[in-house]
Amino acid sequence: MTKVVKFGGSSLASAEQFKKVKNIITADKDRRYVVPSLPGKRNSADTKVTDMLYHCYAKAANGENFDNEMKSIQARYQEIIDGLQLTADLTAEFATIKEQFAAKAGKDYAASRGEYLNGILLANYLGYEFIDSAEYIFFDENGAFLPEKTNAALSAKLATCDRAVIPGFYGSNPDGSVKTFSRGGSDITGSIVARAADATLYENWTDVSGFLVTDPRIVENPQVIETITYKELRELSYMGATVLHEDAIFPVRTAGIPINIRNTNAPEDPGTIIVENTSRKPRCIITGIAGKKGFTSINIEKDMMNSEIGFGRKVLQAFEDNGISFEHMPSGIDTLTVFVHQTEFEDHEQQVLNQLHKTANPDSIEIETDLALIAVVGRAMKSKWGTAAKIFTALTNASINVKMIDQGSSEQNVIIGVRNHDFEAAIRAIYNAFCND
């Protein structure tokens, strides 16, 4: 059995955290391939090394002196070396990095050094082989990740080494220069390595004990989700729940490898398992509740709208032509509502309205702002009566006016529109109805 373990920035922020990481890895001999992020924040006032590198490189790219910035970065690594009494010495690495910064090697190169250096230290500490991700993770000339080329090269390499550290977040362009994924991209590397290693499990170690049923800033101490499917996760992440980079799902999903979100600071907690399919029931019918504020609805009314072929297209065309993506479009008999992000819409409002009037010729258009959308997601809702009743009873009891209801055909998801100022109360009411009854 092979497990791939990825550790986030907070898991590797200091020598103390490195010790926890080593204990976790050595506690299970199946944990053979390790993907580190870089040293993250040691406390809430601290700066993540990625941000220090971006800042330092901005100075270098401007032709300014960046000695002090580079020294602070070096000090973060030195603290780890000293704290663990490592034999690794990064002096030569830092000399090269300084040269490359001065030669303006690029922002991606700069940011990637965080993971690169952390990978060297972790490999030294564990006694594992260090594999430079630039040699095995590939992008094309347009910056698109090349999954098959990467998988072929990386799986061949992993087959030759029993245990290794492969730094997260970066790979290389066809010309050999470094290219990073988007922020939080070490999650993606972990997933790529899991696929290449044909792992039985991808463990993603972070600073929370898994996905929570809802946002802990809204509900105190929400329950942890034990098992979630990729589909449910996608719906919750779309609505703003974040723990894992969205692009991290694809490589393992296609290979049928589950992801386990775990907490480095509470390794005994089982965390959340993300799977393709499961027969396990969520603890409380719904799997999760997530949502976002800041929507505007454009309510369009036209008599006999239903018999006018092409009406919907004309409406959506007005949004498309102005570069606005629509989030939802519930419709009635002679009404149709388009939900858009408020800030996106504001800039193009008059052009959209103008085009709507010209092409769709509606009887009236009404705009309502400051709306929030809440998604109640759960595989167990399918074919189960009473879920909607429970949601709406909870909202009624909390005196919350529901502005919109949308149930996806998958029956896994009910989306509710409320006013921004009812957002938190609505989430609390739904949570309490399902998870605290």
Residues near ligand ASP, by CB under 6 A: 9, 37-38, 48, 50, 114, 168-169, 183-187
Whether residue 9 contacts residue 18, with contact meaning beta carbons closer than 8 Å, is answered with no
Q: How far apart are the first and last CA of the chain?
A: 41
Q: Residue 10 Cβ, how far from ligand ASP at the closest point, in Å?
A: 10
Give whole-number Cα distances, 436 to 212, 223, 290, 430, in Å.
14, 10, 17, 10
Distance in angstroms (rounded) separating the CA atoms of residues 94 and 110: 12
Q: Residue 127: left if φ>0, alpha if ψ -120 to 50, beta else—which one?
A: left
Residue 6 CB, shortest distance to ligand ASP, in Å, is 9
Min separation Cβ 420 and ligand ASP, Å: 29
DSSP 37: -
Residue 418, judged by CB atoms within 10 A of its CB (0-12, 13-18, 19+), counts as buried
**For residues 87-105, b (16+ Cβ closer than 10 Å) or e, as one string?**
ebebeebbeebbebbeeeb
Minimum CB separation from ligand ASP for residue 47, in Å?
Answer: 11
Shortest CB 367 distance to ligand ASP, Å: 37
Helix (H) or strand (E) holding 370: strand 364-377
Cβ 263 to ligand ASP shortest distance, Å: 17
Contact criterion met (CB below 8 Å) for 349 and 343:
no
Closest CB to ligand ASP among residues 252, 404: 252
Q: Which is nearer to ligand ASP, 134 or 435 (CB)?
A: 134
Closest to ligand ASP by CB, 114 vs 222, is 114
| Residue 170 Cβ vs ligand ASP, minimum distance, rounded to whole Å | 9
What the block records as the tokens of 231 is 């589909």
* CA atoms of 15 and 79, how far apart (whole Å): 7
Residue 219 · residue 274 · CB < 8 Å:
no
DSSP character at residue 88: -
186 or 337: whose CB is closer to ligand ASP? 186
Burial, 156: exposed, middle or buried (Cβ in 10 Å; 0-12, 13-18, 19+)?
exposed
Question: How far apart are alpha carbons 304 and 71 in whole angstroms?
Answer: 70
Q: Judged by CB, which is closer to ligand ASP: 49, or 373? A: 49
Residue with smaller CB distance to ligand ASP, 71 or 183: 183
Nearer to ligand ASP, 184 or 291 (CB): 184
Coil, helix or strand at residue 319: helix
CB-nearer residue toward ligand ASP: 203 or 422: 203
Q: How far is the CB of 140 from ligand ASP (least distance, A)?
A: 21
- Contact assessment for residue 430 and residue 398, using Cβ atoms and an 8 Å cutoff: no
CA distances from 379 to 211, 252, 281, 374, 394 (A): 16, 21, 8, 17, 20
Residue in the shown chain whose Cβ atom is closest to ligand ASP: 186
Please report how close the Cβ of residue 185 comes to ligand ASP at its closest, in angstroms: 5
* Shortest separation between residue 241's beta carbon and ligand ASP, angstroms: 17
Nearer to ligand ASP, 114 or 288 (CB): 114
* C-beta of 145 vs 311, nearer to ligand ASP: 145
CB 3 to ligand ASP: min, Å: 19
- Smaller CB distance to ligand ASP: residue 119 or 210? 119
CA 78 to chain centre: 30
